Amino acid sequence: MKVANDKPSLIMQIKDIMPMLIIAIIIVVADQLTKTIIRGKLVVIGTIEVIKGFIEFSYSENTGAAFGTFHDKNSVFIIVNLIAIIFIFIYHNRYKENIWMKVSLGFILGGALGNLADRILFGFVTDFIRVRLWFIHSFWWPVFNIADSGVTVGAIMLVIVLFRDSYKGRLED
């Protein structure tokens, strides 16, 4: 329903943003809950093998970016995270009619908020999931967390949605 000045009503704006926010909240809660458990347990006992030779939980404090790069740049990444969150909301407003865009942005937003909370509260991001790439005998993927997974899944979905929409646009031309 539109109001007289042709802007969406507050209820419509909330309805538009809800899928993205619900997914983001689920990611943040799962991320922070698992990190709280890991900080409480793994700091003391070390590594837990979840699936022998394939997945383990191992406590790690990351003050940098993905794969442990850019160590001790926490304040820079707080700013980058905040800018990314602003862009997520801007991007959402441009593509709010596309449910898959909302879902992908929800994953990215949840991941960004989860890691931002760690950076602000602790000065580092808690990572704990280690996966061995079975096709490379002794290679373990760098340690990550639920928030990182949310960002990754959301980014992959975003690329697929953008390519799909681009392809559909070319078919219509």
The whole-chain average pLDDT of the chain stands at 87
How far apart (Å, rounded) are the C-alpha atoms in residues 132 and 137? 8
Chain centroid to Cα 58, Å, comes to 20
pLDDT digits (tens, 9 = 90+) for 8-33: 787 877 888 999 999 999 999 999 99
Pick the catalytic residue from 31, 72, 118, 127: 127
Q: Answer whether residue 4 shows pLDDT above 70.
A: no
- pTM for the model: 0.85
pLDDT of residue 1: 46
More confident residue, 26 or 68: 26
pLDDT, one tens digit per residue, over 81-123 is 999 999 999 988 887 778 999 999 999 999 999 999 999 999 9
Tell me how far apart the terminal alpha carbons of the chain are, to the nearest angstrom.
31
**Which residue of the set 6, 72, 148, 173 is catalytic?**
148
Region of residue 127 (phi > 0: left; psi between -120 and 50: alpha; otherwise: beta): beta
